[in-house]
Amino acid sequence: MSIEKQYYVYILFSKKNGTLYTGVTSNLVKRVWEHKNKFVKGFTSRYNVDKLGYYEIHNDINVAIEREKYIKDKKRQYRLDLIELNNPNWQDLYDEIL
């Protein structure tokens, strides 16, 4: 029996209604940890975007990449709404995925 690989589309935030970042990864815990510890040089470390506000799980990398592109192509309000609808208190969901 093989275990199916999972892929995650995620949105990080700096503070409520703050700077947002959308990404895709096969290891959400590791990737968010890297953002939190500033291992990812560039946008997220520069703007302190390190709180996990939203994520979805996909079984196909191509579906996950398409979803990431779709989310990135939408207006900022779409990403804010995804967080607000699924995480109304803007909690950092990192502890939830550990």
CA dihedral for 20, 23, 28, 31, sign (positive or negative): negative
Contact of 92 with 51, CB cutoff 8 Å: yes
Closest CA to 23 of 79, 87, 75, 77: 79
Fold of 7-97: GIY-YIG endonuclease (3.40.1440)
pLDDT band (50, 70, 90) for residue 1: low
Q: Residue 63: its pLDDT value, please?
A: 98
Q: With bands split at pLDDT 50, 70 and 90, how would you rate the model's confidence at 3? A: confident
Burial class of residue 34, CB neighbours in 10 A (0-12, 13-18, 19+): middle
Instruction: Locate the domains of the chain by residue range.
Output: 7-97
